[in-house]
Amino acid sequence: MNDFLHKLPQFVGNHLILFTLLVVLVLAQLWLQVAALFRKYKELTPATLTLLMNRESPLLVDLSAYADFEKAHVPGAKHVPMSQFDPEQKDLSKARELPVVLMDKDGRGLAEKAAQRLVKAGFGKVFFLGGGVMAWQQAQLPVAKGNK
């Protein structure tokens, strides 16, 4: 360990760009983790979504394309295309006090953007399924097919 500490300043001096990049990446990752702790919506894994479904009967909203929704979706999920997603929609606004779980096909950000909109609209318990319906399927959990 002592030898490592003696060689570290020389290594940093010889590889300043790499060391700077390492520091920037570590700080960026740290910032992302801290920001995730303080946002008002949370990411769920398929396992934690299962627990939530068993305990609280959340409203499940699938933002996937209609064709993807028909192929496979979490049982009980309602299909709402992102283009028609509105936190002030009559059916959705009734669920203001319920837990609301948003999901998309592959977890590439649609559900998280919708979660931000729900929080801004005053919803209290907002979640999104990390990895989307694909993560649900990869966890070998049951899926529904068709439009129901």
Pairwise CA distance, residues 22 & 6, whole Å: 20
Q: Which residues pair with 100 in a beta bridge?
A: 59, 126
| CA dihedral for 64, 66, 69, 75, sign (positive or negative) | positive
Full-model pTM: 0.78
Written as tens digits, the pLDDT of the chain (148 aa) is 778 888 888 988 999 999 999 999 999 999 988 876 778 899 999 999 999 999 998 999 999 999 999 999 999 999 999 888 988 887 777 788 899 999 999 988 899 999 999 999 989 899 999 999 999 999 999 999 987 6
**Alpha carbon separation from 109 to 22, 79, 115, 129 (Å, rounded):** 26, 17, 10, 10
Nearest CA to 81 out of 68, 95, 62 is that of: 62
